[in-house]
Amino acid sequence: MFYLYNAAFPKRESSYDWKDYIPGDKSETLWTSREDYEYLPKIYNPASGFLQNCNSTPFQTTDGMDNPNINFFPEKLGIEKYMTNRSLRAIELFSSDLKISQDDLFKYKFDMEYSKQSAIAKYRDEILEANISQTDPIVNEALKVLKDWDLKTDPNNKGAALAILSTKPYLKNYYEKISDSELVDNFVRAAKLLKRKYGEIDVSWGKVNKMIRGGRSLSLGGGPDIMHSIYGDLKSSGELEAFAGDSYILFATWDKDGNVSSKSVHQYGAATTKKNSPHYSDQSILFANRKLKDVWFEKSDILNNLESKYRPGERDEK
């Protein structure tokens, strides 16, 4: 196994803070070449037995002592230091098992939990610790719902809707300090929205988190920066309509004799641009339920699972 942070680092003058404004009238700030391969963070066959990176720092790519030493890489390179929730959860999940089965890997991919070290967990704690007036019964109810939330985003979860709607504007790849007043204002707005649209603050997450496709409105688990990644736009109905996140997912497995098998799912179907096709949204139910279908490799398997058989030009493809 090999991980390489394969960046093209410009050779920069070390006396400047390259995160700040740099004078443009000095030749020494004009870089014309790149750093050598030795400057690239890398890991080869870590003792932990796994590598991961989910849009986060290369300095926490695995568990244990095999990560690149952050002290060896100067600030002028501009390497990110933050950890996304997906990277935090990947390390938590992979490092907890000495042996990982195929079924374990499927479960890890569709993990629906936020790490206790994640940005949303920190925002949740800051809201609960803020000085919030408790004269409004809706706010009192919302505080209890948020306090009881277990950081999970399964479709039946009773706290995810409030937590995610309260912090949605700030759920980037990293934690960023937000004023208590702004956090509290968003929290109160989210609570009142849920009460108005659903009649309850502890509404099941799947009633809010939706995939709308081909005439279907499907409840989803997952959420922003979750391993089962789902990002939604807030609609006037109070629902979040998924528009980004997980898409085509494929698992490939080799047995001890080298035989390959594979399973996959697409969030919509194979005919993503043809609304009249049965395959415009025929995989959406599988996706919403976090299920996979077989991928056929052998000719005999393909023939046994054909929907139709034709030669190019024999039917109208409009």
Give per-residue pLDDT as tens, 234-279. 999 999 999 999 999 999 999 999 999 999 999 999 999 999 999 9
pLDDT in tens, 44-53: 999 999 999 9
Identify the pLDDT of residue 261: 93
- 148 and 241 share a domain? yes
CB 115 within 8 A of CB 88: yes
Cβ proximity of 107 and 77 under 8 Å = no
Handedness of CA 172, 175, 177, 181 (dihedral sign): positive
My answer on whether 164 and 233 are in the same domain is yes
Tens-digit pLDDT profile for residues 113-124: 999 999 999 999
* Spatial separation of the C-alpha atoms in residues 46 and 63, rounded to whole Å: 8
Looking at the chain, the whole-number percentage of residues with pLDDT higher than 70 is 99
- CATH number assigned to the domain comprising residue 196: 1.10.1400.10
72 and 147 inside one domain? no
* Domain coverage including residue 12: 2-81
127 and 155 together in one domain = yes
Domain end marker among 228, 245, 262: 245
Mean pLDDT of the chain: 94
Total structural domains in the chain?
Answer: 3
**pLDDT tier at 128, thresholds 50, 70, 90:** very high
pTM: 0.91
143: Cβ–Cβ under 8 A, 6 or more apart, which residues? 128, 132, 134
93 within domain boundaries: no
Answer yes or no: do 135 and 238 share one domain: yes
Task: Write down which residue in 51, 81, 111 finishes a domain.
Answer: 81
Q: Final residue of a domain: which of 81, 99, 129?
A: 81
d(CA 235, CA 128): 27
Instruction: Please tell me whether residues 238 and 253 are part of one structural domain.
Output: no
Question: What one-character DSSP code corresponds to residue 317?
Answer: -
- Between CA 4 and CA 41 the distance in angstroms is 6
129 shares its domain with 151? yes
Domain membership of residue 11 (yes or no) is yes
Q: Answer yes or no: are the C-beta atoms of 165 and 195 closer than 8 Å.
A: no
User: What pLDDT shows up at residue 318?
Assistant: 47
Q: What distance in Å separates the CA atoms of residue 103 and residue 206, rounded to the nearest whole number?
A: 24
pLDDT in tens, 295-305: 998 899 999 99
Length in residues, the chain: 318
